Structure 1
Amino acid sequence: MSFIHSLSDVAACEIGKGTRVWQFVVILEGAIIGENCNICANSLIEGDVIIGNNVIVKSGVYIWNGTRIEDDVFLGPNATLTNDLMPRSKNFPEVFLGITLKKGASIGANATLLPGITIGKSAMVGAGSVVTKDVPDHAVVIGNPAKIIRYIK
């Protein structure tokens, strides 16, 4: 059974067994969230989002349409995911460029990921980094723009 805090706003969506949704979280209609996830306070998940199992979304993370998150991913506090390369008021793209986070990826606090980026399996993005291009499996990236500093298992 999942836990949904009474101070959250959760529309008709799919939430897996054992997932916890904390206060002031907004989840829009159509979102799919796997089992044993932890969605911390003050987060937002749009409707065209798929989140796998065992994912941790720390406070202040907004997950926009088109984003796909595989199992065992960690999103640090205030990580910024984007989905529009050329944002303009009242002028939306035909298709949003979501971000793909592969199994076991970790995104550090306050990191920014540009639209359409894929973060590889078990890769790590350092806190405060700005990711402007895809990150390969097992790579560790830091900086602005983020650059590979090593590989891990």
Structure 2
Amino acid sequence: MTTTPETPEIPDAPGVRGTAEVQDRTGPLSRSFPGSLRPARVLPGAQVSERAAVGDGTTVWELAQIREEAVLGEECVIGRGAYIGTGVRVGARSKVQNHALVYEPAQLGEGVFIGPAVVLTNDRNPRAVAADGSPKRAGDWEPVGVRVGRGASLGARAVCVAPVRIGRWAMVAAGAVVTADVPDFALVVGVPARRIGWVGRSGERLRALGPGSWECPRTGERYEEAEAPDGSVTLRDARP
């Protein structure tokens, strides 16, 4: 089998210059951000740090919270009550649905879908107190992140237990608990999540053409199984 790289595409979020438009019942109000080219929409009740960057055409809905140094790319949608942690990067045209929790230092590639109430964790050994009973503080632990590759989708109430990588165009089923890396184009379900098939860029489950060869029933795109650097099986385009 052919070896193919497993590195996710997490590009810098483009288009973060200008002003954001904060809407209220009487009309739009202008609010500056470090860098947006044209207005983004920030709905009333949303909390967006002055030290966050919001990309062109992005919408942040009510009760969402965007923390310091977070970067949202162009044309993103951040749903009601969602949380984007300090320094998190969200690629262009991504959607983070209502009440999803994206804790730092998560990184999302372009075109990522984070479903309602999804949680991306950041603590290997969560405790409220230290071994001596004293309250744990920020300096007492080191955050670890979830990396989500370009085009991947996480269904409602899925949980990713950091540190894990979700591959490009992968599909995580609703309610799944991800405790290990997910290959590109993989369809994973369950607790803990396990691969049950492959999906294409359209999100449709692929049909088998032969050993290691797959086709999207919607688009006709073809894919081939390949060996990843760690020896696991992943999928790649069959295009020349």
Same fold (TM over 0.5): yes
SS at match of 1:66: coil
Deviations 1:54-94 (A, max 9, x none): 00000011111110000000001001110101011215554
1:152 to 199, 217, 220: 199
Q: Any stretches of 5+ residues in structure 2 without a counterpart?
A: 1-38, 129-135, 201-240
| Residue matched to 1:8 | 46
Q: Tell whether 2:85 aligns with 1:37.
A: no
- Give, as a single letter, the amino acid of the residue that structure 2 aligns with 1:42: G
Q: What is the RMSD computed on CA atoms of the aligned residues?
A: 1.1
1:106 matched to 2:153: yes
Name segments (4+ residues, structure 1) moved above 3 Å.
91-94
Distance 2:97 2:143 in 1: 23
Aligned length: 153
Percent identity between matched residues is: 36
CA distance in 2, matches of 1:4, 1:138: 33
Give the AA of the match of 1:75. I
Tell me which of 180, 183, 208 is aligned to 1:133. Answer: 180
Residue type of the partner of 2:40?
S
Specify the alignment match of 1:142 in structure 2. 189
**Match of residue 26, structure 1, among 62, 65, 73:** 65
The AA in structure 2 aligned to 1:109 is A
Task: State the distance in 2 between where 1:29 and 1:23 align.
Answer: 18
- Contact 1:48-1:64 at 8 Å conserved across structures: no
Alignment partner of 2:121 out of 72, 82, 91: 82
Q: 1:16·1:36 contact (CA, 8 Å) conserved in 2?
A: yes
Distance 1:9 1:123, change over 3 A: same
Partner of 1:60: 99
For the residues of structure 2 that align with 1:151 and 1:18, how far apart are their CA atoms? 32
Gaps of 5+ in 1: none
TM-score when normalising by structure 1 = 0.96
1:96 aligns with 2:152: no
Q: Measure how far apart 1:95 and its partner are.
A: 2.8
